[in-house]
Amino acid sequence: PIPFPGRGDMSGILLVHPDDDMVVGLTNLEAGETVSVADESIQLRGFVEAKHKFARRSVKRGERLKMYGIVVAEAMRDIEVGDPLTTANVKHATTEVTSIERTSTWQAPDVSAWQEKSFLGYHRPDGRVGTRNHWIVVPLVFCQNRNVEVLKESLHEALEYARPHRFRARTQQLIAAYRSGDSAATLRETTFESTDTTVPPARLFPQVDGIKFLTHDGGCGGLYQDAQALCGLIAGYINNPNVAGATVLSLGCQKSQIATLEEELQRRNPQFSKPLYILEQQQEGTEDALLDKALRYTFAGIAEAGKLEREPAELRHLSLGVECGGSDGFSGISANPAIGHCSDLLVALGGTVILSEFPELAGCEADLSSRCATPELGERFLKIMREYEARAVRDGGGFDQNPSPGNVRDGLITDAIKSAGAAKKGGTSPVMDVLDYPEPATRPGLALLCTPGGDVESTTAKAGAGANVQVFSTGLGTPTGNAISPVLKTSTNSQLAEKMPDIIDIDSGKIVVGEDTIQSVGARMLDLIIDTASGEYQTKAERLGQDDFIPWKRGITF
């Protein structure tokens, strides 16, 4: 078990909602211990590890249990008051939504502290504003991955965008030790000399934040629908305000055709005017001819992008993707609600928030559909959710298989428990749009975007939908980032923030121990988003060079 601080004056437990049948252990609770839950005394019938739950009432086999005020589980056998709840006695269950009861009002939070604030961004010709100024190089098909890598080798280090080679220097130290006769046992215990530098290199184009090379394994061999979706995703990346321009490499015969990419770009932005260079190997001839041209055009495009300067922009130009991954039993009571408050603040300021991961919204359909601005949006959300789950069932799975072993070990024992906490990232504002992958977010306010629950596929999709900054909660720790959209990571518990400070930007853990509030953490989160958007703060994922990019492939491969 993870050691958690002593309780002090705390009860060591949390009842999230007055209607809940599950109670969360905030610290490790011993068998036989008596705790007070809503003026009821409950004796624990087994050890409850921190982040896990125990039963507030006795339930019979087949009965359903609530957490966060909604159904999240079904009893697989009779359960007594105080029993620890595990995968051995409960399973995933939700309540089917048969009708939409719309919520008509929303109490927007006070945003007076941010009304006069702005961020320094890159203004694009279409009126949108980027938080970064990237050039991207991307293949239309996996056959071009090696050529993209050649361009990366040619440009990345020469233009000072490669990370410091501290591990290369450390490898040289190991080579020297081996040549001096050190044994394998000695090499394993080698202490490295300091090779890190705090002095950033002087770049030729300081106003270009990065050259991003987005390789993938799609574009051919699968369904035409997947090829179309890939073109839509790539078009979304090119159109993202964080991108100054792009070089696209095509083979020529693949399913993801240049014409399809151009159609998807036109669909997203009829006035698209960024520099875009599309080169096709089967037309250019030799590999040298293709790469020589790609190198010249890309370098010239980067030089043009380097002329841009950051200028003040209203906060309504922020498009925030919200994500969770490596989740734990505290995700839904600390970091995710804090992200939700931050989301509400941004929506009240006229910005956009994108909530995705549809398998991790299972069980929350009633709340989310009731918050949709129109009945049509609510019906669309339910339709996409049902079709997604039906496909999963046809393929031999289901949303109940979403929680990972790490999730389960840390208290998220059903998908519905995980979902109820994950949905908190969307705050309480009305749902203004419902998007199927890889559609773009075009309206201010909260948008629901259909993606899988996988961290990288989901963050990739949100950047493709237009997110120019993202916030990501984690309870177990993950290095996940994004190639073009800076990702701020917030820990659900302070132990993680202390253990993995190189990946965590914000500590939400003090909410759990009562030393901070959801509102104050959410407010600080918005301030850090503004600093990040202005280029004044570089996220930990950016510092690590975590340029994740995985397109979602729904179909089969032929």
- What is the per-residue pLDDT across 417-470, written as a single tens digit (0 to 9) for each? 999 999 999 999 999 999 999 999 999 999 999 999 999 999 999 999 999 999
pLDDT of residue 195: 63
Give me Rg for the CA atoms of the chain: 25
What letter would DSSP give residue 372? Answer: B
Q: How far apart are CA 19 and CA 551, in angstroms?
A: 40
Please name the residues in contact with 46: beta carbons below 8 A apart, sequence gap of 6 or more.
Answer: 31, 54, 82, 83, 84
Q: Are 35 and 13 in contact (CB under 8 A)?
A: yes
Instruction: Tally DSSP H helices, then E strands, for the chain.
Output: 16, 23
One-letter amino acid of 533: A
- Which stretches of 251-351 are assigned E, i.e. beta strand? 276-280, 311-314, 319-324
Q: Which residue has the higher pLDDT, 160 or 230?
A: 230
Q: How far apart are CA 346 and CA 353, in angstroms?
A: 8
Burial of 5 by CB count in 10 Å (0-12 exposed, 13-18 middle, 19+ buried)? middle
Q: How confident is the model at residue 99 (pLDDT cuts 50, 70, 90)?
A: confident
pLDDT of residue 4: 40
In whole angstroms, how far apart are CA 487 and each of 122, 503, 510, 540? 18, 10, 21, 8
**Whose CA is closest to 315, among 114, 15, 110?**
114
Per-residue pLDDT tens over the stretch 294-318: 999 999 999 999 999 999 999 999 9
Q: Are 409 and 324 in contact (CB under 8 A)?
A: no
Q: How confident is the model at residue 505 (pLDDT cuts 50, 70, 90)?
A: very high
Q: Which two tokens stand for residue 420?
A: 């109820």
Q: How far apart are CA 527 and CA 91, in angstroms?
A: 40
Q: How confident is the model at residue 194 (pLDDT cuts 50, 70, 90)?
A: confident
Give the relative orientation of helices 258-268 and 224-239 as an angle to the nearest 10 degrees: 50
Point out which residues pair with 427 in neighbouring strands: none
pLDDT of residue 199: 61
**3-class SS of residue 489:** strand
pLDDT of residue 8: 34
Q: How far apart are CA 406 and CA 504, in angstroms?
A: 18
pLDDT of residue 197: 55
**Whose CA is closest to 323, among 439, 444, 452?**
452
Q: How far apart are CA 161 and CA 472, in angstroms?
A: 24
Q: Are 550 and 454 in contact (CB under 8 A)?
A: yes
Q: How far apart are CA 320 and CA 520, in angstroms?
A: 19
**Taking the model in full, what pTM does it have?**
0.94
pLDDT of residue 96: 87
Q: Are 472 and 326 in contact (CB under 8 A)?
A: no
Question: Is the pLDDT score of 405 beyond 50?
Answer: yes
Q: Which residue has the higher pLDDT, 543 or 170?
A: 543
Mean pLDDT computed over 274-285? 97
Q: Are 74 and 91 in contact (CB under 8 A)?
A: yes
**Whose CA is closest to 137, among 313, 365, 295, 366?**
295
Q: Are 482 and 322 in contact (CB under 8 A)?
A: no
